Structure 1
Amino acid sequence: MPSKLVKQTTQAAALSAISNIFAQIIAAYRNDKPFQLDHIQMLKFAFCTVLNTPLNCLWQQYLEETFPSQKPAPASSKKPVEAQRSLDASNVFKKLLLDQTLGAAVNTVLYITVMAGMNGASANEIIQAVREGFWPLTLDGYKLWPLFSLVSFLWIPVDKRVLASCAVGMGWGIYLSLLAAEK
C-alpha cells in the first residue's frame, strides 16, 4: 500500500492536471479557438505539484507538531478525550503567520522557478522571473490562502490539509495556468 505522502502527492498532481485542463478550456473559449489539449503544459503543472506536495505535507506536519491547534486536556479531566481539548488560538495565529509568510514565499519561489526552468529559462532568466513575479503572485495569493489556511488550521486534520488545499487550489490552479499561458 502506498504511503500517505505518495497518495497525497498523486491526488494533488491529478487535481493540478485537471485544473490545468480547465484553464486550457477557458483560454480556448476566451480566444475563440477550438480546444486542443496541450499535454506538455498539463504535465508541467502536474510535475510542479509532484515536487512541491511532499514539501507542503512535511511543512503542515511541522506546523501542527510545533504549534498544535488544540490545547491538551488537563491530566485530571474525566471527560472523553474529544471533549477535553480546546482551541489554542495563539498557536493557530502562529501557524497562520508562518504559513502565510515563510510558507507562501517558499511556495511562490518554487512555483516560479520550476515553471520557468521547465520552459527552458536560464538561471538568469529564472532569477528575473522570480523578481518580476514574486510580489504580484504573492499578493494575488493573499486574496485566497489566508482564509483557507485559517479554516484548515481550525477544522481540517493535518493529514488532509494538503489535499484539501489542492481541492480549493483547483481554482487557484486555473488562475496560475491562465497566468502562465499569457507569458
Structure 2
Amino acid sequence: MALSPMTIALIQAAVIGTISNIIAQVIAAQRDNKPLSLNLLSLFQYVLFGLVNTPPNLLWQEFLESTFPSYHPSPTPAAIASASKGSESELNAEAKEGKLVEPKLNKLNTAIKTVLDQTIGAFVNTVLFSMFMNGIQMGMAHHSVEAQNGLGFLLGGGKGGGDVVRYGNVNWGVVWGRTKRESWGIVKAGWKFWPLVSLVNFAFLTSVEARNLVGGLAGIGWGIYINLFAGN
C-alpha cells in the first residue's frame, strides 16, 4: 500500500529534524569544548515542531502551486512548424505521439510564488517556530538535567516529576516578547539561503512532493543553524 504524500512528508520531517538537531548538538559541543551528551529533550522538542509544522507547510505549497502554476502547456516547435505549413497529417501524427504541447515555465508565476514564500511564508513559519520552541521549552523546563539524557520525561517521570508539558508554567507574554525579538533576525538570515532554494524548487521541480523533499534536504543545513541559534 502506497504511503500518502502527507505521511511521506511527516517521515521526512522526523528524519531531517533528527539529523539536524544531532549535528547541531555535536557542533555545539565541539565549539564549547565540552564532551557530547546527547540532549534527548531538545531533540524531542525540535522533531515535534517539524511534525506539527509539516502539514500546514505542505498545504501552503499546494496552495501556491494550484494558484500560481509553475508550468503551462505550450505548443512544441514541431507543432508550430506543422501548423504554419497547414499540414493536418503532421499535426495528427504529433497528436498521437503526444508531441503537440510541452510544459513551459511560467516565469511570472514562479517569481510570484518565490516572493510569497519568502515573505508571508517565511514570517509565518518563523513566528510559529519561535512561539512553539519558546513555549514548549518553558513548559518542559521542570524536567531535570538527568531526564534530558533519557526518555523518561515522556512519561512525566524523573526528578523533575509532573506531566510531560506543564502548560500552566508557560508565560505567553514572555514567549511573545522573545518571538518578537528574535524573529526578524531569523528571517533576515533565511533570506541569504532560502530564496535560491525556493526559486530552484519552483523552476525545476514539477511536483509538490519533490519540492518538499528537496526543501527538506536543504533544511538540514538550515536546521543546524536554527538549532544553534536556539541555543541547543
Cα deviation digits, residues 102-161 of structure 1 (max 9, x gap) = 101110011001101111141101110111011100000001000100000011222121
> What residue in structure 2 maps to residue 111 of structure 1?
129
Q: Distance in 2 between matches of 1:104 and 1:127?
A: 17
Identity %: 39
* Structure-to-structure mapping, 1:47-86, within 5 angstroms: 47-73=48-74, 78=94, 80=98, 84-86=102-104
Give distance in 2, aligned partners of 1:149 and 1:81. Answer: 30
CA contact (8 A) 1:56 1:162 kept: no
Structure 1 match to 2:226: 176
Within 5 Å, which residues of 2 pair with 1:96-175? 96-120=114-138, 121-156=170-205, 157-175=207-225
CA contact (8 A) 1:16 1:166 kept: no
Greater gyration radius:
2
Q: Aligned residues, how many?
A: 181
Tell me how far apart the structure 1 counterparts of residues 200 and 25 of structure 2 sit (CA, whole Å).
30
For the residue of structure 2 that corresponds to 1:85, the secondary structure is: strand
The structural deviation recorded for 1:81 is 6.0
Structure 1 pair 19/82, CA: closer, same or farther in 2 (3 Å)?
farther
Q: What amino acid is aligned across from residue 132 of structure 2 in structure 1?
A: V
- Give me the whole-angstrom Cα distance separating, in 1, the residues matched to 2:15 and 2:189: 23
8 Å Cα contact 1:68-1:91 kept in structure 2: yes
Corresponding letter in the other structure for 1:131: K
After TM superposition, where is structure 1 displaced by more than 6 Å over at least 4 residues in a row?
none
Residue 33 of structure 2 is matched in structure 1 by 32
CA drift at 1:14: 1.2
**Do the aligned partners of 2:73 and 2:101 also contact (CA within 8 Å) in 1?**
no
Shift of 1:163: 2.1
Give unpaired runs (5+ residues) of structure 1: none
Deviation digits for residues 59-113 of structure 1, max 9, x if unmatched? 1111111100112235xx5463695121100000110111111101110011001
**SS of alignment partner, residue 73 of structure 1:** strand
Indicate the SS of the match to 2:74.
coil
- Kindly report the root-mean-square deviation, in angstroms, between the aligned alpha carbons of the 2 structures: 1.8
TM superposition score normalised by structure 2: 0.74
Unaligned runs of 5+ in 2: 80-93, 139-169
> Quick one: structure 1 residues 82 and 106, their matched pair in 2 at CA, closer, same or farther if it must change by over 3 Å?
farther
* 1:164 Cα deviation after fit: 1.4
Cα distance between partner residues in 1 of 2:35 and 2:203: 43
